[in-house]
Structure 1
Amino acid sequence: MTTNYLIIGSGIAGLTFAVKIAEKFPGRTVTIITKSNDDETNTKYAQGGIAVVLNNKADSFDKHVNDTLIAGDGLCDAFIVKMVVREGPKRLKELIDWGANFDTNKNGSFSLGKEGGHSEHRVLHHKDITGYEIERALFQRVNQLKNIIVLSYHFAIDLITNKCLNSTKVTDLTCYGAYVLNQKTNEILTIKAQNTILASGGIGTIYGHTTNPLIATGDGIAMANRAKAKIKDMEFIQFHPTVLLNSKKGSSFLISEAVRGFGAYLRNSKGNRFMVSYDNRAELASRDIVSQSIHKELKKTGDDCVFLDCTHLPIDVFKEKFPSIYNKCLSEEINVSKDWIPVVPAAHYLCGGVVVDMHGRTSITNLFSCGEVSRTGLHGANRLASNSLLEALVYAHNIFMFLSENNNLHSTVNVPSLNYNPAHHTEERVLIKNITKELQTIMRSHAGIVRSNDQLNRGLKELNIIYNKVEELYKTSKITTSLCELRNMINTAYLIINQSLKRTENKGGYFNSDYETKKTLKKDRCV
């Protein structure tokens, strides 16, 4: 199978690029592959919204830039931050033109929310299902474009590079597409592409307790790493501070940052508003600070959770702004007008990833990356709330602009089928399930919100054991999605732990107790 543009992933980043390039070049083919149904992405579960400067009287680009730099704890690329923030209004207008709806107030202007780390109200939202609304609008446009092919239930196994094509030493790597498993027929396809765009999302399932859907298994990171692309800042995992307490491990229900922006308080089991002791911004501190503060509070009290108190807020307005949160709490016998919501932090967002330049180019020729899988320099050590959807829109556009002006449509290389030995036995489902749980325990225990060098080294030793098991299984078993996902999660876990061990000071989402005496819990970052 041959295509001009192969897009791996169907979230806001991949779909935005697909729409733009398909509109510009109706005679070229755009192929989107996604391993689940087409709209099952991290975008779909984004409750909060898109951070864009629209109110120039109260807000400004400079304020948004400054908020992003503060959240990123000194590790953002200032040039990239300015570029993304200034592009925001234009990219938002395109999304609205494609049919995305955002909440308005009584006078018809956009209702702008304020979230942790933001100094002004600048977050556009569609109730508390913003991501779902964006996916709806983008797929509506995708379905109108005849040169876009969407292949659901197709799993990308590995990228095809010139290193795969010959055994001689390759110094300058080029991507020619991907090997893809049709999950319904079990056929392995060789999809040759002149340009490949990684937009495969995040890694939350590696931790088990996560806000991400189960499909977030770090596939794009692992594939890019095996292809020898540059990967950076994997130690910066953002844990969302307020996730509904869930006795089961797996995808958990997120209580949006916007709820705290609306005025909710965080309390411990004694009823104390503890955030005022950790940061001058209290509940509106950035996510890394709130998550680390909750971790410290739970360590002090020995409790299983803290509580989000919304009882002082106007319930009618709450129900209008956050209907899915209100109804989810009711289903758990929590009446937010009377009851506090039990919450804990959970793995939420990866700030690092596949390194790209401002055009979305990776270190491999003809391989581009956008969305959570990429490391652009925008987030630094910690993502400012609601900057991720903005980043996805801007970088999808940048890749589109680059490829519109630099048409990489000249590849004539012959790509062979995937070379692997016939299976000696079928997939061992129980073994894969057990190893996955073991991996998640390792990551939660040794590479979570607060780490230490001893914990990280212990995690690395335990990871080595399961790595060898899985590699042997991969060599001798039938290739399946669950086996490949487990392999990808282990590859990604290695990157997280190894890059954590290389960091020697606390920054943003990375907090190592060995360095706690060198820097307190970032009160110096308050403004």
Structure 2
Amino acid sequence: MERVAHDGVLVVGAGLAGLSAALAAAPRKVLVLTAAPINHGCSSAWAQGGVAAALSENDAAELHARDTIAAGAGLVDRSVARLLAEEGPEAVRRLAELGAPFDRTDDGRFAQSLEAAHSRPRVARVKGDQAGRAIMEAVSASALAARHIVVRPGFRLRGLLQDVRGRVRGVIAEHRGRLVEITAPAVVLATGGVSGLYAVTTTPAELRGEGLGLAALAGAVIGDPEFVQFHPTAIDIGSDPAPLATEALRGEGAKLINAAGEAFMARYHPDAELAPRDVVARAIHAEREAGRGAFLDARDAVGEHFPHEFPGVFAACMAGGIDPRTQPIPVAPACHYHMGGIVTDAQGRTTLEGLYAAGECASTGVHGANRLASNSLLEAAVFGRRAGEAAREAEAPDGRPLRTAPPPVLPETALQQLRRAMSRDAGVIRNAEGLTRLIGEIDELEARYGRTPELVAARLVSASALQRGESRGGHYRTDFPDLAPARRTFVTLSDIPASAALRFAAE
């Protein structure tokens, strides 16, 4: 195995969180590893709505924090929510300074959209639905130009290096079929979420919880893994991943209708189209299950303005044979975001010394049971920067890490089996019977292929969902439709035995 010693910060992942950490770690040397070419294979570049922040005169960080806490259904860490909201405006201004071309009003202020569960229009956008791509182009250009950063594409994370005390000392990566051991004083995981573990997802399919699984295998504490957000309005044209019809369309007045042309959201929630995402996702799921279908009708709200106001949605629809100017868009819920992740403090430190995490793979406590719309890019920018600043101060410990083999690789056929099982039993609607069946299937796959990171991540989601006997936020149990006393989940892999399905089912 090739061995490389890096005297600086090692960042795994080149989305907004990873590159924010890399930029903030200056002047310390930073090595960024990414499996895909930069600006590809990351959810940040696919984000449509924008970045939520209290930028207008009739808004305030206190109001943004309040909306974040309300959306999180009782599990948000209030101090972290306040921190995110307070640092939000400066984070947006910093992105603008890097070159992100946010839409502006005639007087030069940030144009802001209203999205679900926000009490004010506060989502800074780019050309309607181009925020993620435009932001990532600006941040990527800055990272590539920074003298302290080296970006290495084509490196897939395969394992974490630890010493005898459990301190993380680097990573094992795979490059062109060969394993490389890279040591570093600090490792920042910014590996994205788990949506690629589901059959229908709005994110790059490569994001399948490998960073989460590897951190759990190393002994890190994982927070709230059962809370998965399903975006209600993926465009249902049979694509994998599914293109997204941004929530901003509903903010502009688009309506959800069934095949009979009836607007149905008022039957499910008083806020109708602007209800929290989990409510809208379940409503669409219910309409589809009842055979009535679900469509997003933006003909009156956007109509002929589609090509220039929402070019991404327009292009995706036209590619699928739908003209959204004259036709309702068929929609379905799809796995979109993981509220859970590797537990960190406000500086990105995990429970393992030497390991930091930021972005969707981290659990700061800011999202609770249901992420507020457009808080994801904000969290990546704010806490990515904080993680980079903290990792910059890490000192190289004495001694060498232990030599360990990386975990096995899950074959593609087995991955597709897992994706179908996760969508079937750990999706928008859950119950004990389905979750028990799912964990049994994970057991069988693990017995056949070994404890792969994907199977570990899936086990954490499903076992924690089975143990949470209530419905809260993005986690809905038909057999436990009511709320139980609020509690967060903090779990290590050793807390979940291989016989989890049997143990939880018996309780």
For the criterion TM > 0.5, the same-fold answer is: yes
CA distance in 2, matches of 1:278, 1:233: 26
Is 1:396 the counterpart of 2:384? The answer is: yes
Q: TM-score with structure 1 length normalisation?
A: 0.87
Cα shift at 1:93:
1.7
CA distance in 2, matches of 1:93, 1:109: 11
Aligned match of 2:296: 308
Q: TM-score with structure 2 length normalisation?
A: 0.91
Is the 8 Å Cα contact of residues 188 and 418 (structure 1) preserved in structure 2?
Answer: no
Cα shift at 1:218:
0.6
Cα shift at 1:463:
1.4
Residues paired across the two proteins, number: 478
Cα shift at 1:29:
2.0
Aligned match of 1:278: 268
Is 1:288 the counterpart of 2:253? The answer is: no
Once the two structures are superposed, residues 130-182 of structure 1 have per-residue CA deviations (whole angstroms, 9 ceiling, x without a partner) of: 1111111111111212221111010111111124xxxxxx5xx3110101111
Q: Residue 469 of structure 1: which of 442, 448, 452 is its match? A: 448
CA distance in 1, matches of 2:302, 2:330: 20
Aligned match of 1:93: 93
Alignment gaps of 5+ in structure 1: 164-169, 475-486, 521-527
Once the two structures are superposed, residues 205-246 of structure 1 have per-residue CA deviations (whole angstroms, 9 ceiling, x without a partner) of: 101210011211111101100001000111110000001113
Is 1:375 the counterpart of 2:379? The answer is: no
- Cα distance change of structure 1 residues 150 and 417 upon mapping to structure 2, 3 Å threshold: farther
Is 1:177 the counterpart of 2:162? The answer is: no
Once the two structures are superposed, residues 467-488 of structure 1 have per-residue CA deviations (whole angstroms, 9 ceiling, x without a partner) of: 11111xx8xxxxxxxxxxxx22
Is the 8 Å Cα contact of residues 80 and 378 (structure 1) preserved in structure 2?
Answer: yes
Q: Residue 437 of structure 2: which of 455, 458, 465 is its match? A: 458
Q: Residue 209 of structure 2: which of 208, 218, 223 is its match? A: 218
Q: Which amino acid aligns with 1:509?
A: G
CA distance in 2, matches of 1:90, 1:9: 23
Written as runs of structure 1 = structure 2, the 5 A alignment for 1:281-430 is 281-299=271-289, 301-303=290-292, 305-403=293-391, 407-415=393-401, 418-419=404-405
Written as runs of structure 1 = structure 2, the 5 A alignment for 1:44-83 is 44-56=45-57, 58-83=58-83
Q: Residue 202 of structure 1: which of 193, 200, 212 is its match? A: 193
Is 1:7 the counterpart of 2:11? The answer is: yes
Once the two structures are superposed, residues 108-149 of structure 1 have per-residue CA deviations (whole angstroms, 9 ceiling, x without a partner) of: 322101111111110011121211111111111112122211
CA distance in 1, matches of 2:62, 2:398: 47
- Specify the SS of the correspondent of 1:158: strand
Cα shift at 1:97:
1.4
Percent of pairs with identical residues: 33
Cα shift at 1:335:
1.8
Q: Which amino acid aligns with 1:234?
A: P
- Cα distance change of structure 1 residues 419 and 244 upon mapping to structure 2, 3 Å threshold: closer
Q: Which amino acid aligns with 2:46?
A: Y
CA distance in 1, matches of 2:398, 2:140: 32
Cα shift at 1:187:
2.0
- Specify the SS of the correspondent of 1:143: helix
Alignment gaps of 5+ in structure 2: 485-507
- Specify the SS of the correspondent of 2:184: strand
- Specify the SS of the correspondent of 1:69: helix
- Cα distance change of structure 1 residues 252 and 420 upon mapping to structure 2, 3 Å threshold: closer
Aligned match of 1:439: 418
CA distance in 1, matches of 2:394, 2:345: 17
CA distance in 2, matches of 1:319, 1:52: 26
Q: Which amino acid aligns with 1:414?
A: R
Greater shift in the superposed pair: 215-224 or 318-327: 318-327
Q: Which amino acid aligns with 2:426?
A: A
Q: Which amino acid aligns with 2:9?
A: Y
